[in-house]
Amino acid sequence: MANTKKVALITGANKGLGFEMARQLGNEGVTIVLAARDPQRGEAAAEKLRGEGVDAQFLKLDVTKPEDYTAAASFLEKKFGRLDILINNAGIPGGGLGEGKPSITTPEVIHDVFETNFLAPVELTRVLLPLLKKSEAGRIVNMSSILGSQTLHSDPGSPIYDFKSLAYDASKAALNSFTIHLAYELKDTKIKVNSAHPGWVKTDMGTDAAPMEIPEGGKTGVALALLGEDGPSGSFIHLGNVLPW
């Protein structure tokens, strides 16, 4: 029998926001392909979701290894014949505040951060796009950050003006540009592409200083993954509100 449930692939989903979005989407009846680079942790996370009644399975996917992209596409093609939701969630910080000044940010740090936060989502999406085109309503969610907003970073009155880290911020700005360009390319299809700012969330990256709990942080990505036909495409969203690029 053909699988009639929506199928979602989420990268970096063994913990934090990725795991929470997997849980929330699973609770909405979506089949979850939980992608992570560590098989032991990834399978443990999928098992935990299954214990909560979520239809979840683990897929080894290291976003820094392009060979894993083609393996993922082959798995999805054979198992489901399509992909309905892609959430590009995996990301790295590349140094904290005070460590990301342009004068001390090395080319190696910029390369590593862009490889994970920008180049990987672009290439993974390219490889999986044929499967997304087989969906009745494909959704691509790029997990960005308000720190990728060029408008807010250049405004002395904005809340993020004093929070700058070159490699991370630039990688998210580039990811936002990818969202805009891909949404334009797909504007005459049923696929919607959006960037999500989850908020400052209590994750490993966000630290315990963050004001938002993980379940709240997962809401924006989940909402964009489940957008209806009348939903936006090519937008930068946080909890239903549009953010400036």
Of 168, 187, 202, 219, catalytic: 168
Q: Do β-strands 236-238 and 241-242 pair in parallel, antiparallel, or remain unpaired?
A: antiparallel
Residue 202 — very low, low, confident or very high, per pLDDT cuts 50/70/90? Answer: low
Cα first-last separation, the chain: 44
Which residue ranges make up each domain of the chain? Answer: 7-242
65 catalytic? Reply is: no
168 catalytic? Reply is: yes
Mean pLDDT of 103-130: 97
Residue 182 has pLDDT above 50, yes or no: yes
Residue 1 — very low, low, confident or very high, per pLDDT cuts 50/70/90? Answer: very low
Q: For 207-228, how does the pLDDT look when each residue is reduced to its tens digit (9 = 90+)?
A: 777 667 888 899 999 999 999 9
Residue 1 vs residues 9, 80, 189: alpha-carbon distances, Å:
21, 11, 27
Q: For 37-51, how does the pLDDT look when each residue is reduced to its tens digit (9 = 90+)?
A: 999 999 999 999 999
- Asked if residue 61 lies in contact with residue 35, where contact means CB atoms within 8 angstroms, the answer is yes
CA distance 201 to 237: 16
pLDDT of 76: 98
Q: For 183-200, how does the pLDDT look when each residue is reduced to its tens digit (9 = 90+)?
A: 999 999 999 999 999 987
Least confident of 11-25, 159-173, 197-211, 213-227: 197-211
Cα 186 from chain centroid (whole Å)? 18
Topology of the domain covering 7-242: Rossmann fold (3.40.50)
pTM of the model: 0.95
Residue 97 has pLDDT above 70, yes or no: no
Of 172, 184, 192, 202, catalytic: 172
Dihedrals phi, psi of 24, to nearest 5 degrees: -65, -40
pLDDT of 56: 98
Q: Which two tokens stand for residue 53?
A: 């009644």
- Asked if residue 189 lies in contact with residue 211, where contact means CB atoms within 8 angstroms, the answer is no
Residue 236 — very low, low, confident or very high, per pLDDT cuts 50/70/90? Answer: very high
What SS3 string covers 53-77?
Answer: CCCEEEEECCCCCHHHHHHHHHHHH
Residue 107 — very low, low, confident or very high, per pLDDT cuts 50/70/90? Answer: very high
